[in-house]
Amino acid sequence: MQYAWFLWSILLLIVWLGVYISIGNKIGRKEMLVVSFWTSLLGFSEPLFIPIYWNPPSVFDLAQKTGFDIESFIFAFAIGGLTVMIYESIFRIKHERISQTERHHVHHKFHLLALLSGPIIFVALLMSTNLNPIYSAIIALIGGGLFTWYCRPDLKKKMITSAFLFLGIYFLYFLTLITAFPSYVEKVWNFSTISGILILGIPLEELIFAFALGFLWSSVYEHIKWYKIKRV
């Protein structure tokens, strides 16, 4: 069980690689790499979650010694690319630049605020409440997603579809963990600070997080780069 978190992260990276290889164009691959790189930086937030949310054994015991671990960066890298590209790997789409005229639409008036809303909500909740960080993260992701929806209603179909797709993939992926390591969840998650509700052995918070991440993160590339998508 010492290397479960490491092996679990590598497995997700293999899934990431499979999706990356399946993408048939350079633009899509670049999008996936760019988003994955920036998402990997979320690994620096791991000390906020250890041990108040969970306390996984990690390579070289880094999580216990420093609060940081190698696995978190691998995991964040993989989920970033998957959430942004899962929709595009299933549905054929093309990207088009939003014109300068369209950018003056009233919805785009809050472009920067919508992009920053997720981090702002997360930090505000951390500083003003005693919520477990996982709940702050979930609220921030959903709140940021709703702000994005207002600013970019054209992306709502991708956001909703991606939320359910990533939830499904994450659910199946998590099942591999508890199948290989049946007692892992009970030993690693801090049930005294969360709901304690398990869905087929998976903490409810993990599933809500996956849905919320797919909802917001799937739109981040188009939102930042001023792209709109069209089915082809």
pLDDT digits (tens, 9 = 90+) for 38-58: 999 999 999 999 999 999 999
Q: Is 199 exposed, middle or buried (0-12, 13-18, 19+ CB in 10 A)?
A: exposed
- pLDDT, one tens digit per residue, over 47-90 is 999 999 999 999 888 788 888 899 999 999 999 999 988 888 88
Predicted local confidence at residue 3, as pLDDT: 87
Which residues, in sequence order, are CB contacts of 67 under 8 Å at separation 6+?
Answer: 46, 47, 50
Residue 58: phi and psi, rounded to 5, are -135, 165
Q: Residue 224 pLDDT more than 80?
A: yes
Q: Residue 213 pLDDT more than 90?
A: yes
Distance between first and last Cα of the chain: 46
Q: Residue 217 pLDDT more than 80?
A: yes
Predicted local confidence at residue 84, as pLDDT: 87
Q: Residue 93 pLDDT more than 90?
A: no
Give the position of tokens 């969840």: 185
Q: Residue 23 pLDDT more than 90?
A: no
- Give percent of the chain above pLDDT 90: 69
- pLDDT, one tens digit per residue, over 161-174 is 999 999 999 999 99
Predicted local confidence at residue 121, as pLDDT: 97
Report the C-alpha dihedral over residues 103, 109, 112, 118, rounded to 10 degrees: -120
- Kindly report the number of other CB atoms within 10 A of residue 52's CB atom: 15
Q: What is the mean pLDDT of residues 123-141?
A: 97
Predicted local confidence at residue 26, as pLDDT: 83
Contact 95, 42 (CB under 8 A): no
- Quote the CA–CA distance of 192 and 181 in Å, as a whole number: 21
- Quote the CA–CA distance of 171 and 199 in Å, as a whole number: 9
- Listing DSSP states for 57-83 in one string gives --GGGHHHHHS--HHHHHHHHHHHHHH
Between residues 32 and 99, the one the model is more confident about? 32
